Amino acid sequence: MELDQDQIEQFERDGFLLMRGFLEKRNCEIIKEIAKVHLKYAIEPIETESEYIGINDERYKKSIRRLRQAYDRDIVFREWMENREIRPILQQLLGERAVLVTAHHNSIMTKLAHTSTQTCWHRDSRYWSYSGKNLISVWLALSVENSQNGVLEFIPGSHKMVFDNASFDDKSFFRVDREENQKVIAQKVSFDLEAGDIVLFHSELLHRANANRSEEDKISFVYTVKGESVKAIEGTRSSKFKEIPLL
Ligand SMILES: O=C(O)CCC(=O)C(=O)O
């Protein structure tokens, strides 16, 4: 499968690209069922809501926000990350061969009912240490995602916007209390997703998500690829995990 020129231009302009029905629903169901087992038994490595928001509350300590290191958890997860259909698409958008990075987004991401928190506006690159910014995350919806259960919101074109340091708080979240930022945030978009839809988005794109206000857990899959010429900076977390070239 390959992208047409419009889709490539759309990604370059907006910093993201939505592709509907990329993975069959029955495959999504299999991934989701395995993820549920890992969630049920809290199989490490995990990130809790408490760790994410830095609040030591019993409710959030038990709530899993992310199952890390998805690649090594199950052959089914690995198969999705090594899917052959998507490789030419990633190569088109990166402009070179894609390499899976397992240091960062390599996760089952959740918004669990009742115990999730919002994700504030940020760029994924905030904690990543690479020689360049040519990295793309692949978000796979495993069930319906909407504003009620915490679907992603994006600011089109923000991957190319230049902001001063004061635009971000001490955790590198894009500040919502600044008037200049509010004008940027007013441009936000989001779209409901169905199981099997994917969103490809640039590592510099501003995005956020609501807490899940529905009665059902939301479970998604996200992984990241880099262009092969982009190098993890030695001595940082980004360099401490294996990389898998998608030949
Ligand atoms: O909370 C979400 O659903 C999005 C997660 C995210 O953007 C992140 O962890 O970088």
Domains of the chain with CATH codes: 5-245 (2.60.120.620)
Residue 73, pLDDT score: 98
Pick from 47, 68, 105, 119 the residue to mutate for probing ligand 1's pocket: most ligand atoms within 8 Å of its CB: 119
Nearest CA to ligand 1 atom 1: 119
> pLDDT-based confidence at 202, cuts 50/70/90?
very high
Query: pLDDT digit string (tens) for 76-133?
Result: 999 999 999 999 999 999 999 999 999 999 999 999 999 899 999 999 999 899 999 9
Rounded CA-CA distance 197/212 in Å is 19
Number of the ligand 1 atom closest to the C-alpha atom of 124: 10
Q: What is the pLDDT of residue 52?
A: 79
Mean pLDDT, residues 62-74: 94
CA dihedral in degrees (218, 147, 224, 68; nearest 10)? -30
Is the distance from the beta carbon of residue 49 to the nearest atom of ligand 1 less than 6 Å?
A: no
Q: Is the CB of 109 under 6 A from ligand 1?
A: yes
- Report the percent of the chain where pLDDT is more than 70: 100
Instruction: Check residue 61 and give its pLDDT.
Output: 76
* Lowest mean per-residue pLDDT among 52-61, 63-72, 169-178, 181-190: 52-61
> What local confidence, expressed as pLDDT, does residue 90 receive?
98
Question: Cβ(112) to ligand 1 under 6 A?
Answer: no
Ligand 1 atom nearest 111 alpha carbon:
3
Nearest to 154 by CA among 18, 6, 4: 18
pLDDT at site 24? 98
**212 CB near ligand 1 (under 6 Å):** no
Q: What is the pLDDT of residue 180?
A: 96
Shortest-distance atom of ligand 1 to CA 52: 9
CB-ligand 1 contact for 208 (6 Å cutoff): no
* Percentage of residues in the chain having pLDDT higher than 90: 90
Task: For 33-61, write each residue's pLDDT tens digit.
Answer: 999 999 999 999 999 888 777 777 777 77
And the tokens for 4? 């047409």
Residues 6+ positions from 238 with CB-CB distance below 8 Å:
101, 103, 104, 128, 129, 130, 232
